[in-house]
Structure formats: structure tokens, C-alpha cells
Amino acid sequence: MSIETWTRALTEAIAARDADAAAALFVEDGFWRDFVAAGWTLQTLEGAAAVGAFAAGPAADAGLRIAPEAPPLQPGTDPAQEGFVAFETAHGHGRGYVRLAGDRARTLMLTLEGLKGHEEPLRGRRRSGLVSDPEGRNWKELLAAKTDGFGETREPYVLIVGGGQAGLALAARLEMQGVPYLVVDRHPKVGDQWRSRYKALTLHDPVWYDHMPYMPFPEFWPVFTPKDKMGDWLESYAHALELAVWTGTECLGAQRAPSGEGWRVTLKRGDETLTLSPTHLVMAVGNAGFPRLPEIPGQAEFAGVQMHSSQFASGEGLEGRRVVVIGANNSAHDIAADLVAHGAKPVMIQRSSTLVIQQRTVTDVLIGALFSQAAVDRGVTTDRADLLLASSPFRVQEENSRRLWTKIREDEAPFYDALEAVGFKVDFGEDGTGLLKYPRTASGYYFDVGACAMVIDGRIGLRSGAGVARLTAEGVELDTGELLPADMIVYATGFGAMEEWVARLIDPATAERVGRCWGYGSGVRGDPGPWEGELRNMWKPTAEPGLWFMGGNLAQSRFYSGLLGLQLKARHIGLIPED
């Protein structure tokens, strides 16, 4: 069966509300990953029976019609077995990807890209730029007035708390959709979230993977972006897209409006405290919100300096100093390498095993197939790469990742053997799925940009498998009895989860009702939650109406901001009830 015949058969089954006919077009353990296409949320239907019920219900209600898209596939694939598709519903349109196994589908992914009658002002629909203002203001004056009057003469429909890449990406989508919004951020300038990180930080993802919506990096941009350059780019991005942002503004708290609809959000802007009343509140505060500091006996006795990794700036001036770094993931390695570069003597305490990925493996193997100059040269645009990356449900990603990481482990055995020979504890994910650690826990890994060689040759000292018993005036005592002399201790111990912001800014009861943010139920040991086909509470409705979470790396911010923006736009124009 060709993709054209298959999509026609599925469209007919949907129109007839024939659940059995739709189910018969999928393998028994097939998947339909629906991103706001027919169900107004992000969800994965697993199994032919669930897929059939969805096709005869929400998909039929939406008037879903699917057809192959031309060109039909990405280079190197079998046009008889997989390819891009396009779809329409009564309210919108989008694209997706299907993979067939014979005459039935193994996976179908559909992603809403626009609402009919509310097309974004892009390319041939761009705004004229001519200004006709009753008060005679020109473009510059109108831009300056864009953030005036909030809380006095008008209210934002959407208030976004956090002006990093996630908050700005969503703001860009709402700007293009014509949805009233405001971004608030506590830093003095847009981009300061990146500028305030440790001096040596450079993005570990390559430039092809990291574009923001609407405005990709220039073709001369370096492959790996220094953190201050990233901060400057975000500031330029907010200016170029004319985003409504209040910097130097801290969110003090939020509560339900007395009517039960919308929010009352208290902000501190400079010396002024004011209240805004948005209908929707978006937490775009990131996974690196609250530093997680362990409580260790004797911390008050230690004579040296203690700090969380988020407070570390540079190893400058620390030549000859003994520094204990507690932790062994990305920040710990980067900080330890920076200390070595400045002549310090770091010792890294690895409390649990770490997934280590060499930078060239990330670029050439994990990302290169979809996001690289070679992929661009083959005609794989960023939009297509995003669709392909999202086209496999997590269950299928697990299967593929096990095979991929088995090969990586074999191909790069000398590298991993050298790490293990000095006592470093390496893992490849609890179930061998490698970097799926990121969507599960957003921690526990290191993209190697040079620190591993320092661990192997001893420039970075290592204590693995030993816990910290207590601190003394002189240093860190391990539970093995060894005392590590130290002038400084850096706690590279991670950050609290995003739901902690809800507990602190709204109330603990709301946080408990909303539940965990990020992660999906993997079915492996140590994950007590039920199976979740998508990341919990991210970019989709939560148990608290009008409360949303926006986050992720640059690529996720680019892709999922479009989906969250469309969900908010649909509510703003009345396609979806506010509750």
C-alpha cells in the first residue's frame, strides 16, 4: 500500500467515524502522536484500539483530512514506507510524518502549524511597515509605547514569567499570532541569564540545532556559541522581533482572581510593586531555577569558600588552590576544566554514574543526521528536521536509542575504557537508552568538550563511589575516611524542578495538583510514575486551568513554542473554552 492510498483510507475511516477501520490501518502496537492537530493538546495514542477510538472521536470531530506532502520524503528513505504528510482540519492545517510496515502504520505524527484565517504575517503576508497612527507617532515611538499601560489601562492576555530562550520563543510566536502578552524577567537586560553563567561556558549543541523561531543564526555563526554571544543574540532577537519585555521585574507571587477566571500576579519592577491580571500564566523559568544545595554536617566549620555552581564565575586567581567539586555532570566537568586551565587543583566527587558523550558523537552521530550542514545540503530544512525529530514516540525512541548506544559503546570502547580505568563510573542510561536521560530527568550526563582527557590523565582528580560524610575546617571528609584538603568547595549538585516555582509563587496545593514537570514514565526501575507518552505538563494544558510551562533547550524552545502559541491563540479567539 502506498502512502497516498493509506492516507486516503485513514481519511475515509475518520470521516465515517469507523474506529475499527482506522485501527486496522495501524499495527497492533502502533502509535499516533498528535500535537494539537486533532485533540488540542500534546498526546501519544498507543495501540491500534486507542488509535481507532481517537480517529473516530476527536479526529472526526475536527474534520481531519490527511494527504502525502510533496516532496514525499527526506533523502535516503523509502517512499513506499515513509514520508511527510499534510493535513487540514476545520480550524487549522499542518504537517506530519508516517512510517508504514507493509500496509499498516507503525507511527503517525501530526503537528498543527497554523489556524485558518489567522495566518502569521510571513513572506507574502508580511506587514507593509507603513505607519498610520491617530496620535501621529512613528514606528520608534509606537515601539517604545508597546510595554506601557499594563496594569493600568490594559492587561496582557498571557503573562510569561522568564525571558530566556523559552520565554522569548513563546513571545515571538504570540507576537506573530497577535495575542496580547508580556514577558517579565528579573535580570537587568535580556540575555543576562546566559551572561551570568560561568566565564568558560560555551553551548554544547551545534549551531544548526539551536536556531530560534523566525530568525536563524547567520551562516557565519560559530558551530558552538559562547555564552556571552548567546546572551547578546537573545537581546538582539527581542529587539528585532519587537517583543514586549519588562526586564528588572521580579514575580513575587500569583493567585487566582476572585472570579476564579484568570490570575492576579504581583510584580516588583524597580521600586514599584504592581499587580497584573492575565488570563494565562506561563512559567518559562527553566530547569535551572532553584540551586539545589545539599545539607552536609560541618558546613559551618569549613574555613574556605563554598558556593553553588550557579555562583561560580571563573578559575581566575585560583592558581594553586585546592578545589573540591561535588558532582560529575556538565557543570562539574566544565568548572573543573576551567580550574585546571587557571592552575588550580580540582578534585571531582562523582556521587553516581554519568552518561558521557563525546562532542563529535553529538555533532556527527546524534544530531548530524538531521541538524548539520550536510543535512542542510541534502535539503533537510530546520522545520523538516524538527518534524522528523518529533515523529517517533518515546517508546520507539527507546528502541532506536538502545541500538544506537550499543553501537556507540562498541565504536568508542577505548574512550570509555580509559575513563573506567581511572575509576570513573560510566553509564548508558539505566536501560541502555543513552541520552533519553535528558527528557527523563534533564540531568546525569556530560557532553565532553575536553574535561574527560583531564580526568584520564589526572589533571582533574577523581573520587568516585564515595559519599561526603562531613566537612571539617580543612576540607571534605569522605565516607571512606579520606580527608580531601580544600580551599574552596563548589556544589555542582543541580537545580530544583520547575514545579517548585508553583509551590513558591502560587501555593503548595496547586503545585501538588499540577504534579511533576518534565520527565516521562519510562517503565524502568526507579521511575514510580505511570507511563506518560509525552513530557509531563510541558507545553500543554495542566491540571490548573490557565497555568502553563514553557522550557527546554533552544531546539525544543523553537519547536514547542509554536504548539503552545497555537493553543493560546485558539483560546484567545474562542476556539477552545478557557477552562
Mark whether 450 and 554 lie in a shared domain. no
For residue 229, with 0-12 CB atoms within 10 Å meaning exposed, 13-18 middle and 19 or more buried, which class applies?
A: middle
Lowest-confidence range among 63-77, 223-237, 402-416? Answer: 63-77
Residue 65 lies in a domain: yes
Residue 229 lies in a domain: yes
Looking at 115, 134, 162, which one is the last position of a domain?
A: 115
Reported pTM: 0.94
Residue the block writes with cell 514506507: 81
Confidence at residue 371, expressed as pLDDT on a 0 to 100 scale = 81
- Residues listed for the chain: 579
The most confident of the ranges 223-232, 373-382, 530-539 is 223-232
Mark whether 284 and 372 lie in a shared domain. no
- The set of long-range contacts for 525-534, using a CB threshold of 8 Å and a minimum separation of 24, is 525/430, 526/430, 527/440, 533/33, 533/43, 533/44, 533/45, 533/46, 533/393, 533/394, 533/395, 534/42, 534/43, 534/44, 534/394
pLDDT at 261 over 90: no
Confidence at residue 217, expressed as pLDDT on a 0 to 100 scale = 95
C-alpha cell at 18: 469507523
CA distance 163 to 193: 8
Mark whether 337 and 283 lie in a shared domain. no
Confidence at residue 499, expressed as pLDDT on a 0 to 100 scale = 84
pLDDT at 254 over 90: yes
DSSP H helices, 285-393, are: 330-341, 359-361, 373-377, 382-390
Residue 524 confidence class, pLDDT cut points 50, 70, 90: low
Percent of the chain with pLDDT over 70: 96
Mark whether 562 and 526 lie in a shared domain. yes
CA distance 495 to 556: 19
Residue 346 confidence class, pLDDT cut points 50, 70, 90: very high
For residue 304, with 0-12 CB atoms within 10 Å meaning exposed, 13-18 middle and 19 or more buried, which class applies?
A: middle
Mark whether 358 and 476 lie in a shared domain. yes
pLDDT at 504 over 80: yes
Q: For the chain, how far is it from start to end, CA to CA, in angstroms?
A: 42
Residue 430 lies in a domain: yes
Residue 284 lies in a domain: yes
Residue 131 lies in a domain: no
Domain count, the chain: 3
Mark whether 267 and 227 lie in a shared domain. yes
Structure-model confidence comparison of residues 79 and 302, the more confident one: 302
Mark whether 523 and 469 lie in a shared domain. no
Mark whether 363 and 314 lie in a shared domain. yes
Q: Between the CA of residue 262 and those of 33, 184, 221, 277, 281, what are the distances in Å?
A: 30, 17, 42, 7, 8
pLDDT digits (tens, 9 = 90+) for 43-81: 999 999 999 999 999 999 999 999 998 665 565 666 668
CA distance 91 to 565: 15
Mark whether 425 and 502 lie in a shared domain. no
Percent of the chain with pLDDT over 90: 77
pLDDT digits (tens, 9 = 90+) for 83-114: 999 999 999 999 999 999 999 999 999 999 99
CA distance 447 to 427: 13
Q: Which phi and psi (to 5°) does residue 33 adopt?
A: -100, 115
Q: Which domain holds residue 363?
A: 305-383+408-491
Confidence at residue 288, expressed as pLDDT on a 0 to 100 scale = 56
Residue 38 confidence class, pLDDT cut points 50, 70, 90: very high
Residue 91 lies in a domain: yes
Lowest-confidence range among 248-257, 284-293, 305-314, 517-526? Answer: 517-526
Structure-model confidence comparison of residues 363 and 278, the more confident one: 278
What's the CATH code of the domain at 341? Answer: 3.50.50.60
Residue the block writes with cell 550536510: 374
Confidence at residue 78, expressed as pLDDT on a 0 to 100 scale = 67
What's the CATH code of the domain at 26? Answer: 3.10.450.50
Mark whether 358 and 269 lie in a shared domain. no
Mean pLDDT of 254-276: 93
pLDDT at 525 over 60: no
Residue 391 lies in a domain: no
Lowest-confidence range among 150-154, 339-343, 478-482, 493-497? Answer: 493-497
Mark whether 501 and 461 lie in a shared domain. no
Residue 258 confidence class, pLDDT cut points 50, 70, 90: confident
The continuous run of DSSP H or E covering 168 comes out as helix 165-177
Residue 100 near residue 86 (C-beta atoms within 8 A): no
Confidence at residue 23, expressed as pLDDT on a 0 to 100 scale = 98
Pairing verdict, β 461-464 and 445-448: unpaired
pLDDT digits (tens, 9 = 90+) for 23-37: 999 999 999 999 999
pLDDT at 292 over 90: no
Mark whether 371 and 343 lie in a shared domain. yes
The 3-class secondary structure across 403-465, one letter per residue, is: HHHHHHHHHCHHHHHHHHHCCCCECCCCCCCHHHHHHHHCCCEEEECCHHHHHHHCCCEEEEC
Residue 500 confidence class, pLDDT cut points 50, 70, 90: confident
CA distance 292 to 495: 5
Looking at 491, 514, 529, which one is the last position of a domain?
A: 491
C-alpha cell at 349: 566527587
Looking at 96, 115, 134, which one is the last position of a domain?
A: 115
| Coil vs helix vs strand at 207 | helix
pLDDT at 335 over 80: yes
